[in-house]
Amino acid sequence: MLGLLTYALTALCALAALPVLVLCLQVLLAHGGRREAPAPAARPDDADVAVLIPAHDEAAGIEATLHCLRAQLRATDRVLVVADNCSDDTAALARRAGAEVVERSHAVNRGKGFALDFGVRHLSARPPSMVVVVDADCLLDAGALETLASLCSSSGRPVQALYEMNAPAGSGLRARVSAFAWRVRNRVRPLGWWVVGAPCQLMGTGMAFPWSLLRDAPLASGHIAEDVQLGADLALRGRAPLFAPKARVTSTFPEGDAAAASQRKRWEHGNLALMFAHGPRLVAAGLRRADAHLLALAADLMVPPLALLVQLQLGLMLFAALARWLGAGALPLAISAGALALLVLSILAAWRLAGRDIIALSELLLTAPAYALRKLPMYAAFLWKRQSTWVRAKREGE
């Protein structure tokens, strides 16, 4: 009996160590890898861009987003705002800022995917060469739009900007740990894969698509992680997204614990659901086609959120230690302890690369364990009370 327990626990610990190995490799590549990607060919004069902005009650910030975009547009480009089920002045403010606006209202089909589909259907009357999707609360660094458009035009593939979310000014430790974890997921990990030419996941904003790809994409969905789902679907069609680290899009976490927790729950439940739904499909397709890009995307998709990864490795190590005390073999404990140590080293290396301006190392070491434990109920809720519908996080002052 103890022998069977040892074999089963060894297999489980080895399987759980795989995402840690992927994360470690991505961090190492991002840290030490060097890649000078050739500048993409300049966007042709006739390659026009439509910037598509889905917006639900975004009156507080949409003017800043449109002002930022306006400085980066060519004369032939356009901005379309989909004011989706709005109860505020989003549509009026967007029109005043010079954007083309369509309004959508539907009592049942709510969420970003439906808004994007509505916008694409509107654009089909005068199709652009490319569509760049930007959230209504995001700002683009100077030159970001042209970088995305040029790379999208020259590659014929979807392109994902570096998307970062910042903690609000004066935030406490928990918000800054969240901002660091976000950077690990959206900067460090895709940068590691980019160094070796592997694709990335789509991140919801700062996404550029050739019109021919987006026109036929299954967008009309209420899925809470529609961006990840779209990226996986396009990868299976041979058009895995490219990462563009020199094009940066930024936003800010909502203020207030309740709003931030609601947003994190939506993101993480959605990503976990798609990890189980699409990860095996991508692995199977990658093996069948001998496609390293699909396998790399699958490996990235199968890395769970950082806090959950810490919880899993710690829990496995404690269980393996208990099994060892009861007389089971030592191998499961050695694997789980080694994986946990490697995970801690990977987090420290990621902090050195992308977290020193957010949080001090001493603060991270003191706060991270409690941060991971506080998220345990959210991950537990994924098993019996999973969030499956889109809910917008409240912004400051709402």
Q: What is the pLDDT of residues 301-358, one digit of tens each?
A: 999 888 889 989 999 999 999 999 988 889 999 999 999 999 999 999 999 999 999 9
Q: How far apart are CA 129 and CA 388, in angstroms?
A: 33
For residue 293, give every residue at least 6 positions away whose Cβ sits within 8 Å of its Cβ, in sequence order, or none: 198, 199, 235, 240, 286
Q: Are 111 and 24 contained in the same domain?
A: no
The per-residue pLDDT for 34 is: 65
Q: Is residue 392 scored above 60 in pLDDT?
A: no
Q: Tell me what the mean pLDDT of segment 255-259 comes to.
A: 57
Q: Which of 196-200, 274-278, 361-365 has the lowest mean pLDDT?
A: 274-278
Interval 189-193 mean pLDDT: 96
Asked if residues 171 and 252 have their Cβ atoms less than 8 Å apart, the reply is: no
Q: What is the pLDDT confidence band of residue 41, given thresholds at 50, 70 and 90?
A: confident
- Classify each residue of 193-219 as buried b or exposed e, where b means 16 or more C-beta atoms within 10 Å of its C-beta: bbbeebbbbbbbbbbbbbbebbeebeb
Average pLDDT of the residues in 65-69: 95
Structural domain ending residue among the three candidates 128, 148, 165: 128
Angle between helices 331-354 and 2-32 (to 10 degrees): 20
From CA 19, how far away is CA 8, in angstroms rounded? 19
User: Looking at residue 397, what is its pLDDT?
Assistant: 47
When comparing pLDDT for 268 and 321, which is higher?
Answer: 321
pTM, 2 dp:
0.88
279 in a structural domain: no
Residue 89 pLDDT > 50, yes or no?
A: yes
Q: What CA–CA distance (Å, rounded) separates 194 from 33?
A: 10
Determine what percent of the chain is predicted with pLDDT higher than 90.
Answer: 63
Closest CA to 77 of 149, 15, 143: 149
Q: What is the pLDDT of residues 105-117, one digit of tens each?
A: 988 888 888 999 9
Is pLDDT at 268 greater than 80 in this prediction?
Answer: no
Q: Which residue has the higher pLDDT, 100 or 224?
A: 100
Point out the domain boundary residue: 106, 128, 150: 128
Higher pLDDT, 5 or 310: 310
For residues 256-261, average pLDDT? 54
One domain for residues 377 and 317: yes
DSSP assignments along 301-360, one per residue? HTS--HHHHHHHHHHHHHHHHHHHHTT--SHHHHHHHHHHHHHHHHHHHHHHHHTTTTS-
Domain that holds residue 319: 2-33+286-384
Q: Which residues share a beta bridge with 210?
A: 130
257 lies in some domain: no
User: What percent of the chain is predicted at pLDDT more than 70?
Assistant: 87
Q: Are residues 25 and 54 in the same domain?
A: no
Of 94, 128, 162, which residue is a domain's last? Answer: 128
Give the Cβ contact number of residue 181 at 10 Å.
21
The better pLDDT of the pair 62, 259 is held by 62
Q: Is 16 in the same domain as 67?
A: no
DSSP states along 192-260? HHHHTT------SSSEEEEHHHHHTS------TTHHHHHHHHHHHTT-PPEEEEEEEEEEEPPSSHHHH
Separation between Cα atoms, residue 20 and residue 24, nearest integer Å: 6
Phi, psi of 246 (to 5 degrees): -90, -5
Mean pLDDT of the chain: 88
Residue 232 lies in a domain: no
Crossing angle of helices 306-325 and 361-374, in 10° steps, is 80
* Pairing relationship of beta strands 207-210 and 130-133 according to DSSP bridges: antiparallel
